[in-house]
Chains A and B, each alone.
Chain A
Amino acid sequence: MAAPSMNAMADKYANQDVGSIFLYTHEAHPGENYPHHTSMEQKLRQAQALQTELSVTRTIVADSLDGACHRRFGTMPNMTWIVNKAGTPLYKSDWTDSESVENALVYFLNVQERRRGKHRLAPFRVERLDYRTQDRDGFNEGLMRSGPKALREFNEAFE
């Protein structure tokens, strides 16, 4: 996870008062190289390794060892949320796709601009199905980064 395209987007919009973080959860596919967490110290070490190995340029923060935040937000392995300064979520996706996130972000930046222009705006709810490219080779490569065990277990789970 932690796609380079998400780092690029963070840089692109940083000067428009858009923050971007990577929230490290549990290892979705524990393997020989990056096993399941048994202590907070180990979790922070693996988050540091992720930062280096995946070249994550965004701020990384770690959830508690019991995943309190991750679990409250639905425990999906790679979801993305956009939240405003008041702590109100404006966008949530059960999978991360930078094009989907950027599409929503541009819309919300435009909403801010319209509000500055004294437009009276009222929120309403939208449901939409977005589409992402399926990169099975890249995904398998990520599993192998964790270790052969991770790849084997994933294949067995979906046999």
Chain B
Amino acid sequence: MSDPNLIQKYNYDEFTPAKVFHWLNFENSPKLGEKLPSFPLWHLDGSETSLEEIWQAHSLTIIEFGSFT
């Protein structure tokens, strides 16, 4: 069952080791060479797209994840 507080926990309100570090899980990210799952994503005008739609648009796509900091 999904965590009812997932949104609040993922969007932590302060950068502390207890709230942040357990999220960092690159070791279990998708493997190279194996097809990725797709996810819904949103343009800045609120319209919906998907990761699949993005990777299908070009022979290669660079995806940088990030935020202000």
Contact = CB atoms under 8 A, between A and B. Distances in A.
Chain A: interface secondary structure? mixed
A153 B14 contact: yes
B51 to A, nearest CB: 6
A101 B62 contact: yes
Contacts of A85: 55-56, 58-60
A78 B66 contact: yes
A38 B68 CA distance: 16
Contact residues on A (Cβ < 8 Å of other chain), bracket: 35 or more
Interface string B42-69: 1110100101101111111111111111
Given A83-B55, A154-B15, A125 B64 contact: no
A87 B63 contact: no
Interface of B: 6-7, 10-17, 20, 23-44, 46, 49, 51-52, 54-69
Interface of A: 1-2, 6, 9-10, 17-31, 34-38, 40, 44, 46-48, 50-51, 53-54, 58-92, 94, 96, 101, 105, 108-109, 112, 123, 125, 142-143, 145-146, 149-150, 153-154, 156-157
Given A18-B58, A69-B41, A92-B29, 17 more contacts: A2-B64, A10-B62, A20-B61, A22-B64, A22-B66, A46-B68, A50-B67, A61-B41, A70-B65, A76-B24, A82-B62, A83-B55, A87-B55, A88-B34, A89-B31, A156-B16, A157-B15
